[in-house]
Amino acid sequence: MASSAPCSRSSVLLRTRSTPGPHGRSFDRVSERLSIPLGVNACVQSTHRRRAPLVLHSPSDIHHSLRKMRRRFNLGIGMSSESAVLIATGDRIVPGVSPAFLLQEHAARYVFAARYCKGRQVLDVASGAGYGTDHLRRSGAISEGLEINPESVRHARGLYPESTFSCGNAEAIPTEWCEKFDCIVSFETIEHLRDTEGFLKGVVRSLRPGGIFICSTPNKNLYLFEGNPFHVKEFFRGEFVALIGSHLRVLEVLGQSFHPSWHALLLTPAALARKLMRLVGIGSRGIGGRALAAITPRPSPFVGNDIQASRVLDEFLPAAIPAGRTPGYLIVVAQKTPDVRTTEAGR
């Protein structure tokens, strides 16, 4: 359970250095390694007394604001020690801490997935802080979260005691879960994995015949050189759909957070410059951060620690990809066909 006692800075840093990343990788100095989409304005709510919104105009603005927030949490101000560790892992979304537009994007995926999950046995792979798994449960599913980070599992069990969470690796989904689930969801996971084939074979093995798999990933067609340090491989639209389609029957290819297609032309040279700067050890100064039109600050889709579907804005929900628009994220809905034998899927 989450502790209410303050956590000292030294203990958080020590635990952070020894804590695995969200999908199995370990990182040093993770508090210095944020990756925020280019050219985004966001409303970050301060968890200190005033809670006044900050309008952020560039990746460097967001980077420095989140670092300041982390310093407060590392001193135990307003958060449990478990939550402080979750923030320090860097590539993880935490209600009340992460920018509201990111919370909207992540919550919208679970609100969308809930349509497929009501009354079904559901697995949430890489369940993170646990809010998505619990939202699926509150929407009528029998849900279970699988998460590699033991700190995150303890945190989720404390916040969402009515949901089930297991500690395990997405690349090695337990074989005893053979044909256990009617639906499996996995959001912003596959780009972190080295063994994507092992992951997808585990998904197919764990699905019942006719079961549904919903998977999302950042769209490399938009961010050609984004180079998130937590990502092992990012996918273009065609290769992502082909990868999922090599194991399951693809039913729908949707998008999220749409941009005019010409944004890719603007973002590519700026993102390449930022990647080169990182390679030579120069910090970002928000190159290209003001090139895009300002985004209106968004409200949080959370009330407390729970996703509220009514607070998720329609513009963030996954939808068909219109002509002339490029999605920031790709969402594939696929199905295990009845003729796929589990023995073959597990090979």
DSSP string, 271-337: HHHHHHHHHTTPPP--TTTTTSPPPPP---SEETTEE-GGGS-GGGS-EE--TTEEEEEEEEEEE--
pLDDT at 94 over 90: no
pLDDT of residue 296: 67
| Comparison of pLDDT for 128 and 66, the residue scoring more | 128
Residue 274: pLDDT band with limits 50, 70, 90: low
Angle at the Cα of 140 from the Cα atoms of 87 and 130, rounded to 5 degrees: 10
Percent with pLDDT over 90 in the chain: 53
What CA–CA distance (Å, rounded) separates 114 from 298? 22
What CA–CA distance (Å, rounded) separates 241 from 253? 8
Nearest-CA neighbor of 313 among 114, 96, 107?
107
Domains of the chain: 9-28+35-100 (no CATH), 108-266+293-306+314-345 (3.40.50.150)
pLDDT (average), residues 119-142: 97
What CA–CA distance (Å, rounded) separates 6 from 344? 51
SS3 at position 258: strand
| Comparison of pLDDT for 172 and 33, the residue scoring more | 172
- H/E segment holding residue 184: strand 181-187
Q: Helix crossing, 59-74 with 9-18: angle to 10°?
A: 120
pLDDT (average), residues 321-340: 92
In the chain, count H helices and then E strands. Answer: 10, 12
Residues 197-238: tens digit of each pLDDT: 999 999 999 999 999 999 999 999 887 766 677 889 999 999
Residue 148: pLDDT band with limits 50, 70, 90: very high
pLDDT at 242 over 70: yes
pLDDT (average), residues 112-120: 97
What CA–CA distance (Å, rounded) separates 297 from 248? 38
* Burial class of 217 by CB neighbour count within 10 A (0 to 12, 13 to 18, 19+): buried
Nearest-CA neighbor of 98 among 55, 147, 133, 65?
65
User: Which segments within 19-157 are labelled E, that is strand?
Assistant: 42-45, 53-56, 121-125, 142-147
pLDDT of residue 142: 98
pLDDT of residue 336: 98
SS3 at position 75: coil
pLDDT of residue 104: 95
pLDDT at 120 over 80: yes
pLDDT of residue 52: 39
pLDDT at 46 over 80: no
The region of weakest confidence among 65-74, 136-145, 195-204, 314-323 is 65-74
| AA letter at 149 | N
pLDDT of residue 222: 85
pLDDT of residue 314: 96
pLDDT of residue 267: 67
Strand partners, 320: 254
Nearest-CA neighbor of 156 among 170, 148, 145?
145
| Comparison of pLDDT for 262 and 53, the residue scoring more | 262
C-alpha count within 13 angstroms, C-beta hemisphere, residue 284: 27
Helices (H), 160-249: 196-206, 237-245
